[in-house]
Chains A and B, each alone.
Chain A
Amino acid sequence: MLSNKAVLTVAGASMVLGMAVASSAQAETLKVGIVESLSGSQTSTGRLYATAARYVLEKVNEQGGYNGDQIEILEYDNGGNTSGAAAKVRQAIADGVDVIIQGSSSAVAGQVSEDVRKHNIRNRGDEVLYLNVGGEAMELRSNKCHYHAFHFTSTAPMRVGALTQVMSEQGGLGDRVYSINQNYSWGKDMQEAIKARAEEYGYEVVDTVLHEVNRIQDFAPYVAQIKSANPDSVITGNWSNDLLLLMRAVGGAGLDDITFGTAFLDQVGNVANAGQGAMGNYVAHLGNIELLSEEFVNDYQSVTGHYPVYVEPGAVNGIKLFTKALEEVDFEGGDIDVNQIAAALEQTTLETDLGEISIREGDHQTVMPVVVSRVSKDVKYPVDGTDMGFEPIEVVSAADAIFPLQESCRMRRP
C-alpha cells in the first residue's frame, strides 16, 4: 500500500504534468498561408513572392518561432486566376490560417482581399489578415480597402511620381511623354498618374494608349504610333512580354533616342532579352540589390539559391514589417488575436536599407521609399548573365513617394 505521502507526490506530479499539457494544448500556432500563382502563366512572379515570404518567416522560426511554437507556413497554388484564388482562400481558412500572403496580379489580390473581408464580417473573433505584397491597384486602397488588408507594395502614383521626378532631374524625361499601358486597373492607374504629373514636371503627354494584356504578339504597329507622336520618353507600366516586346520593337525600329521609364524592367530575363536596347532606361522599384547590405544579399543567396531580385527585396521588407509587429504582441502562449496584430502593425516602423517604412492608418498602405535605377554597366551585380545591371540613381524618400489618402477608403475598425 502506498503511503499517503507517495500518493500526494504522484498526484502533484501529474497535476504539474497535466498543467503543462494543458498549456501546450492552449498555445495556438500562428498559421500563415501563402496563396500564390505557383503554376500557370504567372509562376515566375508568384514563385518569387512565395520565396521571399518563406525566407522571412523561416528566419523567425530559426529564432524560436512565435507564441511558443514554430510558425506554420502553408503554400497554396491559386493557378494565377481569381476562381483558383477564391477556392484556395476557402481552403486556407478551413485549414485555420491566421494570415494570408499573396502578391502576383491585382485581379487575384482583389479577389483575395474581398474574400477575406467577407469572411471577417461573418466570423467575428476568428478573423484573418491579408498581407498584399504585390497587388498595386489603387482600388484596393480606395473603395475596396478594409481593416484586415495591408498593402506592402507601391502603387502607380508612387512609381510614376518617383520616375518622373528622377528622370526629369537626369534629363531623360524630355518635354514629350508617351504613355502606353495595359488595359486593366493597373495600366489605367499608370495612365492617370502619368497625366497627373504632367504639370508639375513640365511635360506634355503626347498620346496615351491602352492595349490588351499579354495578348499582343506584334508591337510593330504600336511603335509606328509612338514614332508618329515623336516623344522624348515613353512611360509604361507594362510587365512581362508586353514590356519585352515593346522594347524590342522600339529598338528594332532604330528609335534608340527614346528613353523608357518603366515599373518592371527588373523582372528576371528582361534585360537579357532587351539586349543593348535596355541601356539607359529607367525603372522605379521598391528595392535594388546594389543598395542592400552585403550580409542580407549573401544570406538570401545561401538560403534561396539566388540573389534577391525583382519583387523580392520589397516583399522581404513587407513581411519583415509584419514579423516585427508580431514581436510587439505577446499572447503568452494563448489564443492568437489577429486584430491585435493588425493594431500593432499600424504602429510598427521598420528601418530598411533604403529608409524607414511604416503603415498609414487610413488605408493600410505602406509608406516607403522608392528607388529609381537606370540600366548601366557600372554595377556590382550584373543581371541575367549580361554585363548590365541596375545602377541606383536616387532613392525617393517615403514622404515624397506616398500618394494622398483616397477619400473613398472608409475603413471600419473593429
Chain B
Amino acid sequence: MEFLITSTLNGVIYGMLLFMVSAGLTLIFGMMGVLNFAHASFYMLGAYFAYTLSSIFNFWIGLLVAPLIVGIIGILVERYLLRRVHSYGHAHELLLTFGLAFIFEELVKLFYGDYPVNYRMPDDLNFAAFNIFGTDYPFYRVFIGGVALAMFISLLLMLNKTRVGIVVRGAERLPQIAQALGHNVPLVFMGVFGAGAALAGLGGAVAGAFYPTNPNMALELGVIVFVVVVVGGLGSLTGSLLASLMIGLFSSFAVGLDWSLAGAFDWVGLGDWARSVGGLLTMSISSISGAMPFLLMLIVLLVRPAGLMGSKN
C-alpha cells in the first residue's frame, strides 16, 4: 500500500513536470506544424534567466520575468530564422531548430560556465507539505504539480473558449481563409511560437530550482519531451497531459518493481533455467526504468500510430 501510494504520488508529480515542459512543444507543433528541436533549450534558458534574475531581485520576479524573456527570444527566432526557412518545408525548420539547440547549449556554457549553477528555491518554499508513511513530501513538488495544472487549464480554456483561441486554430487549419478574413497569420504564428517558448521558459524557471540548473538539462529532458508529444498524439494538449502522466507513473513504478523475465519463467517452472542463462532474462525492470518511456512510445506507435489522442487515428 505504501509503495502504491508513494509511487503514484511521485509518478503524478513527475508527469506534471514533463507536461509543463512539453505543453509548449505540443502547442507549437499542433498550431504551426513545426517540430521544434530547440524546445528543451528554451526550458534551459528559462532556468538560467530565472537564476540570474533571482540572484539580482528575488525568486518570484525570476519566475515571472524569465518566461517573458524566453518568449521574446522565441519570437525573434520565429521572426528572423524560422520564417525564412518556412517556405522550404518542415525538414528545414527541423534542421534549423536542431542547430539552434547546440548553439544555445554552447552559449550557456560560455556565459554561465560548465558547472551547475546555484539556483535554488527560496527557503520559505523549502518545507514539507505533508508526511506520508514517515517520509516528508517536499512542498515544492506539489508546487510544480500545481503550476503545471494551472498551465493546462488556462491553455485549454484559452484555445477553446476565447476569440484568440478561435483565430489561432483557424490560422492553423485554414491559413489562407484566415488571412482572407483579415487576420495576420504570420503574426499569429509568431505569437504561438513565442508563447510556446515562454511556457518552456516557465517550466525551466520552476523546475530548475528543484532539479539542478546545468548546461546539460536541455539534453537530458529534450528526448523525453519528444516522447511525450509523440505518445500524446502530435499536437493534442490533453494527449500530452495523459502521456506525461503515463510516463511519470511508468517510470516511478518501474523503479520499485524487481520483476524480470526470469520471474515470468517461474510460472512455467523454467525460472531456475532462466536465471542460469542470465543476461537479458535476469535484468530487472528497475534497472531499465529510464527506458520505460521509449518502450511506451514503441507500443503506442504500433497500436495507435497517431498517438493516444491524435486526430488522425
Interface residues of A (CB under 8 A from B): 39, 41, 43-44, 47, 183, 209-212, 214-218, 220-225, 227-228, 240-241, 244-245, 248, 252-255, 267-270, 272-273, 275, 384-386
How far is it, in angstroms, between the C-alpha of A244 and the C-alpha of B135 when the chains are bound?
A: 19
Contact call B291/A41, Cβ cutoff below 8 A: no
Mask, B194-218, CB within 8 Å of A = 1, is: 0000000000000000111011100
Complex-state Cα separation, A214 to B3, whole angstroms: 24
Asked if A253 and B256 make an inter-chain contact with CB atoms under 8 angstroms apart, the answer reads no
Residue numbers in A under 8 Å from B6 (CB-CB): 221, 224
Q: Which of B10, B14, B118, B287 contacts A183 (CB 8 A)?
A: B287
A sample of 17 more A-B contacts (CB under 8 A), given A217-B17, A221-B10, is A41-B215, A183-B287, A216-B251, A217-B224, A220-B252, A221-B251, A221-B253, A222-B255, A224-B3, A228-B3, A244-B116, A248-B210, A252-B138, A253-B136, A254-B136, A270-B116, A273-B120
Minimum CB–CB distance for B95 against chain A, Å: 20
Q: A228-B2, A269-B118 are in contact. Are A255 and B135 (CB under 8 A)?
A: yes
Contact B118 A218 (CB under 8 A): no
**How many B residues have CB within 8 A of the partner chain?**
48
- Min CB distance B238 to A, Å, is 23
CB < 8 Å: which of B115, B134, B224, B289 contacts A268? B115
Which residues of B from 282 to 305 have beta carbons under 8 Å from A?
Answer: 286-291
> Given the complex of chains A and B, what is the CA–CA distance between A47 and B215 in angstroms?
14
| A223 proximity list for chain B (CB < 8 A) | 135
Partner of B289, one of A47, A214, A216: A216
For B221, list chain A residues within 8 Å (CB): 217
Question: In the assembled complex, which residues on chain B have CB atoms less than 8 Å from the CB atom of A272?
Answer: 116, 118
> Max chain A CB contacts within 10 Å: which of B2, B115, B211, B286?
B115
Contact pattern, B 115-130, Cβ under 8 Å of A = 1, otherwise 0: 1111010000000100
- Residues from 211 to 264 in B contacting A, C-beta threshold 8 Å: 211-212, 214-216, 219-221, 224, 248, 251-253, 255-256
Which chain B residues border A214 with CB–CB below 8 Å? 216, 220
Shortest Cβ distance from B135 into chain A, in angstroms? 5
**A244-B10 contact given A220-B252, A253-B138, A385-B118, CB 8 Å threshold:** no
Residues of A within 8 A of B288 (CB): 212
Q: Once the chains are docked, how many angstroms separate the CA of A228 from the CA of B5?
A: 13
CB of B290 within 8 A of CB of A212, answer yes
**Across the interface, do B212 and A224 meet the contact criterion of CB distance under 8 Å?**
no
Cβ-based interface call for B266 (8 A): no
- Rounded to whole Å, the gap between the CB of A46 and the closest CB of chain B is 9
Residue of A nearest to B18 (CB): A217
Name the prevailing secondary structure of the B interface residues: helix
Which B residues lie at the A interface, using CB under 8 A?
Answer: 2-3, 6-7, 10-11, 13-14, 17, 106, 109, 114-118, 120, 128, 131, 134-138, 140-141, 210-212, 214-216, 219-221, 224, 248, 251-253, 255-256, 286-291
Among candidates A227, A245, A384, residue contacting B135 with C-beta atoms closer than 8 Å: A227
B139's closest neighbor in chain A, by CB? Answer: A252
Q: Once bound together, how far apart are the Cα atoms of A272 and B115, in whole Å?
A: 11
Known: A209-B286, A269-B116. A245 touches B256 (CB 8 A): no
A332 CA / B299 CA spacing, docked (Å): 68
Q: Are A41 and B219 in contact (CB under 8 A)?
A: yes
Query: In the complex, are the beta carbons of B287 and A273 less than 8 A apart?
Result: no
- A221-B252, A241-B216, A254-B135 given; A47·B3 CB < 8 A: no
Residues of A contacting B141 in the complex (Cβ-Cβ under 8 angstroms): 220, 252
Q: 8 pairs across A/B with beta carbons < 8 Å? A: A41-B215, A41-B219, A43-B114, A44-B215, A214-B220, A241-B220, A248-B211, A385-B118
Do the beta carbons of B291 and A212 come within 8 Å of each other?
yes
Question: Are A269 and B289 touching (Cβ within 8 A)?
Answer: no
Q: B68 to nearest A CB, angstroms? A: 25
User: Residue of B at shortest CB range from A221?
Assistant: B255
Q: Smallest CB–CB gap between A12 and chain B, Å?
A: 59
By a CB distance below 8 angstroms, the chain A residues around B116 are 241, 244, 269-270, 272-273
Instruction: Give complex CA distance A43, B105 in Å.
Output: 12
Which residues in B have their C-beta under 8 angstroms from that of A269? 115-118, 212, 214
Contact: B118 with A273, CB < 8 Å?
A: yes
Closest to A271 in B: B118
Distance in angstroms between the alpha carbons of A183 and B256 in the assembled complex: 16
B183 CB to closest chain A CB (Å) equals: 39
Q: Complex: how many Å from CA A211 to CA B256?
A: 12
Residues of B within 8 A of A209 (CB): 286-287
Contact indicator A216/B290 (Cβ below 8 Å): yes
Contact A211 B287 (CB under 8 A): yes
Q: How far, in whole Å, are A217 and B252 apart by their CA atoms in the complex?
A: 11
Q: Which residues of B contact A215 (CB under 8 A)?
A: 220, 290
- What separation, in Å, do the CA atoms of A240 and B116 have in the docked complex? 9
A221 contact from B114, B216, B256, Cβ within 8 A:
B256
Choose from A47, A270, A384 the contact partner of B114 (Cβ within 8 Å).
A47
> Residues of A contacting B286 with CB < 8 Å?
209, 211
**A273 smallest CB distance to B (angstroms):** 5
